[in-house]
Structure 1
Amino acid sequence: MTTNRERVAEIMEKAFSECEKIAPEDLQFSYKGIFYPITLSSPETLEALKSFEARSDDVILIGYPKTGTNWLDEIVRELESSDAKYTEEEMKERINVEKELQMFPRLEFGDPGKFERMKKLPSRRIIVTHLAPHFLPQSFFQGKAKILVLARNPKDTAVSYYHFNNNLPMLPSFSSWDEYFAAFMNGRLGWGSYFDHLVEWNKRIDNERIMMISYEELKENQVEGMKKIASFFGFSLTEEDFPRIAKKTSFQAMKEKSKETHGKLGNILFRKGVVGNWRDYFSKAQNEEMDRKFHDCLSGTKLAARMKYDVYCKA
């Protein structure tokens, strides 16, 4: 099922317009100590989320901001669509339903009433969020729905999120990389701490209904990564499907059509899409501080092993 591109562009256009009237210090609200963009969500929405009921066949995608969730979303939608073999009419109908129900591209975005409207969405629902597990509804973990968690090395995530904060009007900007780096290390950003996010997901890494995959793994071999994803969700595709989808969902292909898919957000969302860009930003002291922080939080964990920190974060 493809993303309702018109709806996504409409939401972002409205948010861009609204934030022009808001003072920088008021762009975010705090919910349980975590910041969120006020033009996209609200405390009432996050409260209403607690009662959301997951279905057994929901496809749930999760990643901290700027770890590649837009890329993963597009990949999984193409895999799901190829498995379901929707006709053109069925595809149009699904998109029209999303539009009529006024859906949002992230679970935590939108008005409190959206969760009631989501009950009317046809299966399989693809649900995407940046939330850590302790902010998700209990139904995610009590039923049979499967959850795919995306992780990206913290150094590249930090750099990507730095540019995102400074270029996206809905988030407060920073006067310098050093100022931003301190905020990232202390978790004083939208959606909270990168490290807390991964620590909490690592506690659930042995759950058979939760699968972890890394951004770097997908970059190294997208076809193999997609095969793992398809197997996890029970999607049945042909060998020819995977290279076709890999080509369609490459960073360059998505960047070229980003204005169509994401409106004004497109140029901001798709910047470089590479591994190792952090080396152009980190000072020696910052590099050592990040190494210590990652070691203190995740050293020796299964999640850290899968992320190959020592490979991708060497100075």
Structure 2
Amino acid sequence: MVLRSETGEVEGVTLTKSICSIWDQVWNFQARPDDLLIATYAKAGTTWTQETVDMIQQNGDVEKCRRATIAKRHPFLEWLTMKHPTGLELAEAMPSPRTIKTHLPVQLVPPSFWKQNCKVIYVARNAKDNLVSYYHFHRMNKALPDPGTWEEFIEKFMTGKVLWGSWYDHVKGWWKAKDKHRILYLFYEDMKENPEQEIQKILKFLEKDVNQEVLNKIVHNTSFEIMKENPMANYTREFQAIMDHSISPFMRKGAVGDWKNHFTVAQNKKFDEDYKKKMADTSLVFRTEL
């Protein structure tokens, strides 16, 4: 029986109580100059980006990318659950160069990443699809707080009372930071529409070069259909006690525009009005359909 997480706060950002309990260790984490950080709001294409980056680093070698589950290949910096080594422990034990994952908003990223001038790949997904995906993830992942009803979860999301805080602050904060640091800011919708073009951006950012054959291989193996069936990427290999894929698979749809199947007309109207206010102070633009 897994007990759902209780929440606490760090600088006004909602996190699990367990993350709050080790916050000093997270904040004082020592990044290395050749670390790569993959940062996203939860359910914005994190695993997809991780697999893409790993395929690039392994030069398209599928076998090498299946050497371990994604959770072991790329430590989840701030995360800890019972019976599993913490993200910090995994990261500290890992030889360089490391690729590390985080959902932290930019202001909570350990300062050593900026001191070491590390590269960061950030992926943002439109709020409505992100919200839908996050809701289903809460339903199936018993390590997260109970989402309540769909209606209640929309409210929590809009007020930022969800894990890792406000989506609005998250995407805007990282968008601003990209002008000061080595951050490649990508959009989920672009990755969906033209994966090859977005992979090219990652290649350039990582200063890697692959031939067309390897590029095709990366595009193919990081497609939703292939990844959904890949036990090293779809979270069916570990965390069985925590994630119930029968409620909703970890890799559910990977679509753009699925929000239309969830929002009522009234919910959509309310969400749009609120969104307009919260996003009035940024140049960031999202697409909610392709």
Q: TM-score, normalised by structure 1?
A: 0.78
Alpha-carbon offset, residue 58 of structure 1: 1.1
Q: Relative to 1, partners in 2 of residues 1:166 and 1:119: Cα closer, same or farther, differing over 3 Å?
A: closer
Residues 130-209 of structure 1: pairs in structure 2 closer than 5 A: 130-209=103-182
Alpha-carbon offset, residue 145 of structure 1: 0.8
In the alignment, the residues of structure 2 paired with residue 165 and residue 245 of structure 1 have an alpha-carbon distance, to the nearest angstrom, of 30
**Which protein has the bigger helix share?**
1
1:41-90 C-alpha deviation (Å, 9 max, x unpaired): 4323222111112222111101001111011111111111118x8996xx
Residues 1-315 of structure 1: pairs in structure 2 closer than 5 A: 20-22=1-3, 24=4, 27-32=5-10, 33-37=12-16, 41-82=18-59, 105-110=75-80, 115=88, 118-258=91-231, 261-263=234-236, 264=240, 265=243, 267=245, 268-299=249-280, 301-302=282-283, 304-305=284-285, 307=286, 309=287, 312=288
Q: Percentage identity across aligned positions? A: 32
In the alignment, the residues of structure 2 paired with residue 228 and residue 104 of structure 1 have an alpha-carbon distance, to the nearest angstrom, of 20
Q: TM-score, normalised by structure 2?
A: 0.84
> Does structure 1 retain, via aligned residues, the 8 Å contact 2:78–2:87?
no
Q: Relative to 1, partners in 2 of residues 1:246 and 1:114: Cα closer, same or farther, differing over 3 Å?
A: closer
Mark the runs of 5 or more structure 1 residues left unpaired by the alignment: 1-19
| Equivalent position of 1:9 in the other structure | none
Alpha-carbon offset, residue 107 of structure 1: 0.6
Alpha-carbon offset, residue 259 of structure 1: 7.5
Alpha-carbon offset, residue 294 of structure 1: 2.8
**SS of the residue 1:31 aligns to:** strand
Alpha-carbon offset, residue 266 of structure 1: 8.1
Task: Report how many residues are paired.
Answer: 277
**SS of the residue 2:225 aligns to:** helix
> Does structure 1 retain, via aligned residues, the 8 Å contact 2:76–2:101?
yes
In the alignment, the residues of structure 1 paired with residue 217 and residue 62 of structure 2 have an alpha-carbon distance, to the nearest angstrom, of 17
> Does structure 1 retain, via aligned residues, the 8 Å contact 2:79–2:86?
no
> Does structure 1 retain, via aligned residues, the 8 Å contact 2:117–2:181?
no
> Does structure 2 retain, via aligned residues, the 8 Å contact 1:153–1:313?
no
> Does structure 2 retain, via aligned residues, the 8 Å contact 1:151–1:214?
yes
**SS of the residue 2:59 aligns to:** helix
**SS of the residue 2:185 aligns to:** strand
**SS of the residue 2:122 aligns to:** strand
In the alignment, the residues of structure 2 paired with residue 296 and residue 313 of structure 1 have an alpha-carbon distance, to the nearest angstrom, of 21
**How much is the aligned-residue C-alpha RMSD, in angstroms?**
3.0
Alpha-carbon offset, residue 131 of structure 1: 0.6
Alpha-carbon offset, residue 198 of structure 1: 1.4
